[in-house]
Amino acid sequence: MEKANVTFVTEFIFLGLSSQPKAQLILFIIFLFFYLLTVLGNLIIITVIQIEPHLQTPMYFFLTNLSFLDICYTTTNVPQMLSNMVGKKKTISFTGCAIQMYFSLSFGMIECVLLGVMAYDRYVAICAPLHYPVIMNRHACIQMVIISWTSSFLSSMVINAFTLSLPYCGPHVLNHFFCEVPSVLRLACTDTSVTELVVFIFSIIIVFIPFLLIVISYARILLSVLRMRSAAGRLKALSTCASHLTVVVLFYGTAIFMYMRPQSKSSRSGGKVIAVFYTVITPMLNPLIYSLRNQDVKGALKKVISKHSLA
């Protein structure tokens, strides 16, 4: 009889980043600017790489994928957030939440794996330059990208299957600005320890292992750079890694803090702020970092601008 009286959640209500109308308007303008800058900046990076012949290398092939991924990642979350800031109805259906949670988690995982692949690419380029064309041939690069996307989509499917199989019978107020696994799990009306364990295990596989690959790759790169006799050679080697390392610190620092800590220790308001960094700020900064700190991209961008200005 008790089970018959249970009402399961059919939609979620977002609390968002603020409940104050004036603050919401200001945040709407700020995040709309961030979103447009993210899309435009990453499209410029993709276009420049595609039209410049000297950028047709494995490093920039991976960067193209990263830029496309950042557009997908922000588009999964930010338009929903902007709509909630100006709209009266701040809800999302259970199905819509499930779809958003799946793709958001998938794209986040892909970024983790892709950043690990990019670190390995820099390791081979600096530590084994003579073997670089053989090891990082086009077929190998395509395979690495396919593995990054496929493994992440499958991992996200497993995590979402466990998360969505739990009963959600109220409350249905989501203290977040988009559907994310940790925040949705808090609303489950049953024990979530098994699902939390699954999330933690996949976080180790998809987040921590690529991070370990990055640490090992850069440790080997540093040792190789220290052995170089030429100061110019050391500077050139480090400059090719600076952009990638900056992105890794920004993305991984917040993602590991969010997904590899116990849910009982998670601050709900703090979690929203952290999520802003890896879903909005980092994708926006990526094209700026790669264009300002990377001499090849900066030079190609100037070349493209000069061509169009002369035309």
- What pLDDT was estimated at residue 30? 93
User: Which range scores top for mean pLDDT: 52-56, 219-223, 234-238?
Assistant: 219-223
Whether 177 and 275 have beta carbons less than 8 Å apart is answered as: yes
The model carries a pTM of 0.86
Report DSSP letters for 233-302, one per residue: HHHHHHHHHHHHHHHHHHHHHHHHHHHSS-GGG--HHHHHHHHHIIIIIHHHHHHHHHHHS-HHHHHHHH
- CA gap 155, 70 in Å, rounded: 19
13 Ramachandran zone, left/alpha/beta (phi>0; psi -120 to 50): beta
Asked if 1 contacts 44 with a C-beta cutoff of 8 angstroms, the reply is no
- Token pair recorded at residue 262: 């116990």
pLDDT tens-digit map of 131-163: 999 999 999 999 999 999 999 999 999 999 999
Beta-carbon contacts of residue 287 (< 8 Å; ≥ 6 apart): 38, 41, 42, 44, 45, 67, 70
Express each pLDDT in 13-33 by its tens digit: 888 887 787 888 899 999 999
- CA Rg, the chain, in Å? 21
Which carries the bigger pLDDT value, residue 243 or residue 22? 22
| Res. 309: pLDDT tops 90 | no
Higher pLDDT, 214 or 302: 214
Q: Which residues pair with 91 in a beta bridge?
A: 13
Q: Say what percent of the chain tops pLDDT 70.
A: 89
**Spatial separation of the C-alpha atoms in residues 8 and 148, rounded to whole Å:** 36
Supply the pLDDT for residue 203: 82
Structure tokens at 291: 């264009």
Give the mean model confidence (pLDDT) for residues 265-290. Answer: 76
Q: How far is it, in rounded angstroms, from Cα 185 to Cα 188?
A: 5
> 100 versus 16: which is more confidently predicted?
100
Q: Which amino acid is at 115?
A: L
With 70 as the cut, is the pLDDT of residue 85 above it?
yes
137 or 257, which is more confident: 137
Task: Look at strands 11-14 and 173-174 and give their pairing.
Answer: parallel
Q: What pLDDT score was predicted for residue 208?
A: 84
User: What is the rounded distance in angstroms from the CA atom of residue 110 to the CA atom of residue 71?
Assistant: 13
Average pLDDT over every residue of 281-290: 84
Summarize pLDDT for 43-54 with one digit per residue, the tens: 988 988 888 888
Q: Is the pLDDT of residue 3 over 70?
A: no
Report, as an integer, the average pLDDT of 183-209.
87
Return the number of other C-beta atoms located less than 10 Å from residue 269's C-beta: 10
Q: 11-309: which CATH architecture?
A: Up-down Bundle (1.20)
pLDDT of amino acid 263: 54
Where are the alpha helices (H) located in the chain, listed in sequence order?
21-51, 58-86, 94-127, 132-135, 138-164, 181-185, 193-203, 209-227, 231-259, 268-276, 282-292, 295-310
CA 219 to chain centre: 23
Mean predicted confidence (pLDDT) in 257-282:
69
Confidence of residue 4 (pLDDT cuts 50, 70, 90): very low
